[in-house]
Chain A
């Protein structure tokens, strides 16, 4: 600090002390600002810029079209379908992740046998590479030789094999299930970490005050989990909303466009239809949705904190 202060003084010997400190501050945050600009602002600005052109992907050459890309998108059924699919997927998988994650965290918080083993095993899906996980699930879901059909028919739950990936609503259900399976461990570890810090005496006090197990859950556990759930849901919602590889690998957006979310639509515009401008426009719109969603969430978050 003193060194940097001396440097600042050498650079601007005649400036007032407050100005010197201002310069020093600017100097110190400059690297962060530069990196931030390089990795966030530049791509963002260029995406917005690209979305105003009609561009052929292989050559990246094209002409200015203004807002035409947006107009076309907002008027197209495909875009709104993708948006709706995206919402269904995000809400569906998020709800499952949170319910499953909280339930398992509660279970793992109990003194059950093999608790530490179970705690490590639960992380398995989260650590597994998406490609591997999806390949395994495709095998499980396969309509001809998949173990799921086989098991369910063996148990007498159904009489004919189901097409889990190639028909609706099975495909959406499958995607949601696999997404929940893959990402619920994140909820488990976050919630479990918080559960372990809730003091026992709160539960004991509630017990003496006459609360049963459900009362203790709603009056102690849930309020104590509120902050961590807020963060977890926020993060998972963002990540699920822009999820690409899991869905692309599992269904490719099909059947037809039944599981085609916005990120898949971006991909389709960019590399199947070879129009980078349209793809950028989808990406920018997607970002706007998420921005609105986040603002809403932050306002809610601030309100609940105070």
Chain B
């Protein structure tokens, strides 16, 4: 089976650095997503792996083989392009057959393999059509078929679902997961849609401005984002982020932000990061960790957005806007006063200067008292 490794891979276009010293070790058979905002270097990473772009320095290996000097065709990788890149003048069958034809596979074998790939993707009825006679989802399946038929060591997929409507996208997501489970091949999946990354991946590599931020399982990334960027990028609605100062006051840990003052669990952050006179931090709380409590701190409801299965609520808490999510049965109206507490077990603290995570929580305590909100 095939693992894929990037070692100190660097890519610059002229003076512009698209990718900075990327280290990434993808295990054999893994489904890995490259996730990040537009322009962060996802496609560049994939294209270097495919051989369509040369890294400025660093080594890329497929299996145990360094592929830097290998032409694309010899890397044993199949790529599904964002635009599908189907050959417009060839039929579906010819499109799927093409990589086999170019590799000199005998006609009878080709025919059989095309039929097998078509059957896997339910394309049998479409084999004689041209790409422009297909819907987006069908084209995507043909592109997948063209990749599948080669039986490559790994699949590279560049935002293959981004052209589809929401419903088809959800459907194809499920089909891709199912396909991955069935064939068990290494898949590297580029997306800027965090929902896709979270639902499909074994592990996610979060990129920002050419730098790898975090490479971990979806849950780990959600629960323990290593940086402010990851914290803000993953999750909808986004994590609440409040700038303030964190001070150790004897055995107590106090967070101050304007009129807001919170006592945090003393063991929340690493002791070594604290300074005399306090440090500038950003406190992060996910919307689901903002809890309604009658004895909590006073806040007012600003906006309620019901989605059906829950409601997204914007609260005004001491001049800070805080987003929470409440169950569908909780009725709230704009202007209504409520009491809020924060789930102390799920607080995130980041250094304001460089955004790195300051929590001491490799193994967070299971339960902890809610922090008291002190005006």
Contact = CB atoms under 8 A, between A and B. Distances in A.
Interface in A123-179: none
Nearest to A203: B85
A54 to B, nearest CB: 55
A224 B89 contact: yes
B87 A204 contact: no
B52 A207 contact: yes
Interface string B81-118: 10101011100000000110011000000000000000
Contact of B102 (A204, A215, A226): A215
Contacts of A211: 73, 102
B52 A202 contact: no
Main secondary structure of the interface of A (DSSP, over half): helix
A224 B83 CA distance: 17
B83 A208 contact: no
B73 A205 contact: no
A223 B131 CA distance: 14
Interface string B47-68: 0001110000000000000000
A211 B71 CA distance: 11
Given A223-B89, A224-B89, A207 B83 contact: no
A225 to B, nearest CB: 11
Contacts of A58: none
B83 A201 contact: yes
Given A208-B78, A211-B102, A219 B87 contact: yes
B81 A201 contact: yes
Given A199-B83, A201-B83, A205-B79, A210 B89 contact: no
B89 A204 contact: no
B99 A210 contact: yes
B221 interface: no
B99 A204 contact: no
Contacts of A206: 87, 98, 102
B346 interface: no
A199 B78 CA distance: 19
Contacts of B85: 199, 201-202, 204-205
A40 to B, nearest CB: 36
Contacts of B50: 204, 208
A209 B52 CA distance: 12
Contact of A208 (B77, B87, B88): B77
Nearest to B52: A204
A122 B89 CA distance: 31
Interface string A199-238: 1011011111111000100011001101000000000000
A20 to B, nearest CB: 40
Contacts of B355: none
Contacts of A199: 83, 85
A209 B89 contact: no
Nearest to B99: A209
B235 interface: no
Interface in B280-296: none
Nearest to A198: B88
A219 to B, nearest CB: 7
A213 to B, nearest CB: 11
B79 A208 contact: yes
Given A205-B85, A210-B73, A219-B87, 20 more contacts: A202-B85, A202-B88, A204-B72, A204-B85, A205-B81, A207-B52, A207-B73, A208-B50, A208-B52, A208-B72, A208-B73, A209-B73, A209-B98, A209-B99, A209-B102, A209-B150, A210-B99, A211-B73, A220-B87, A226-B89
Interface of B: 50-52, 71-73, 77-79, 81, 83, 85, 87-89, 98-99, 102-103, 146, 150
12 contacts: A202-B88, A204-B72, A204-B79, A204-B81, A204-B85, A206-B98, A208-B51, A208-B77, A209-B73, A215-B102, A219-B87, A223-B89
Q: Which 6 A-B pairs have the closest CB atoms?
A: A210-B102, A209-B99, A205-B85, A223-B89, A201-B85, A210-B73
